[in-house]
Amino acid sequence: MSNGFYKVPAAVNEPVKSYAPGSKERELTLNSFKEQYNTQVDIPLFIGGEEIRTGDTKDLFPPFDHKHKLGVYHQADKALVEKAISTALEAKKKWANMPWEHRASIFLKAAELLAGPYRAKINAATMIAQAKTLHQAEIDSACEFIDFLRFNVQFMTQIYSEQPASSEGVWNRIEHRPLEGFVYAITPFNFTAISGNLPASAALMGNVVVWKPSATQIYSARVIVEVFKLAGLPDGVINVVYGNSAMITDTLLASPDFAGIHFTGSTGVFNSMWTKIGQNINNYKTYPRIVGETGGKDFVIAHPSSCAKEVAVALTRGAFEYQGQKCSAASRAYIPASMWPKVKEYMGADLATIKMGTPEDPSNFVSSVISESSFDKLAKYIDQAQADSDAEVVFGGKYDKSVGYFIEPTVIVTTNPQYETIKTELFGPVLTIYVYEDAKWSETLKLVDETSVYALTGAIFSKCRYAAIEATDALVNAAGNFYINDKPTGAVVGQQPFGGARASGTNDKAGSVLNLLRWVSPRTIKETFVPATDYKYPFLG
Residues that bind ligand NAD (CB under 6 A): 186-191, 194, 212, 214-215, 245-246, 249, 264-266, 269, 272, 293-296, 327, 425, 427, 456, 498-499, 504-505
Is 327 a residue of the active site?
A: yes
For residues 19 and 191, which CB has a smaller minimum distance to ligand NAD in the complex?
Answer: 191
Q: Which of 144, 293, 321, 425 is catalytic?
A: 293
Closest CA relative to residue 144, chosen from 317, 15, 321, 9: 15
Closest CA relative to residue 16, chosen from 140, 116, 126, 143: 143
For residues 215 and 517, which CB has a smaller minimum distance to ligand NAD in the complex?
Answer: 215
Q: Which of 14, 327, 360, 425 is catalytic?
A: 327
Is 307 a residue of the active site?
A: no
For residues 284 and 427, which CB has a smaller minimum distance to ligand NAD in the complex?
Answer: 427
Q: Closest CB to ligand NAD belongs to which residue?
A: 265
For residues 246 and 469, which CB has a smaller minimum distance to ligand NAD in the complex?
Answer: 246
Numbers of helices and strands, H then E, in the chain = 17, 23
Closest CA relative to residue 460, chosen from 313, 326, 329, 334: 334
For residues 316 and 504, which CB has a smaller minimum distance to ligand NAD in the complex?
Answer: 504
Paired with 182 in beta bridges are: 208, 258
For residues 181 and 499, which CB has a smaller minimum distance to ligand NAD in the complex?
Answer: 499
DSSP structure class, residue 297? -
How does DSSP assign 189-243, residue by residue? SS-HHHHHHHHHHHHHTT-EEEEE--GGGHHHHHHHHHHHHHHTPPTTSEEE--S
Give the integer Cα–Cα distance in Å for 168 and 498: 42
Residue 493 is which amino acid? V
Whole-angstrom CA distances from 445 to 29, 312, 316, 344, 392 are 44, 19, 22, 21, 23
Quote the least distance from Cβ 205 to ligand NAD, whole Å. 19
Q: Taking a C-beta distance cutoff of 8 angstroms, is the pair 500, 296 a contact?
A: yes
Quote the least distance from Cβ 22 to ligand NAD, whole Å. 34
Q: Taking a C-beta distance cutoff of 8 angstroms, is the pair 111, 149 a contact?
A: yes
Residues forming the active site: 293, 327
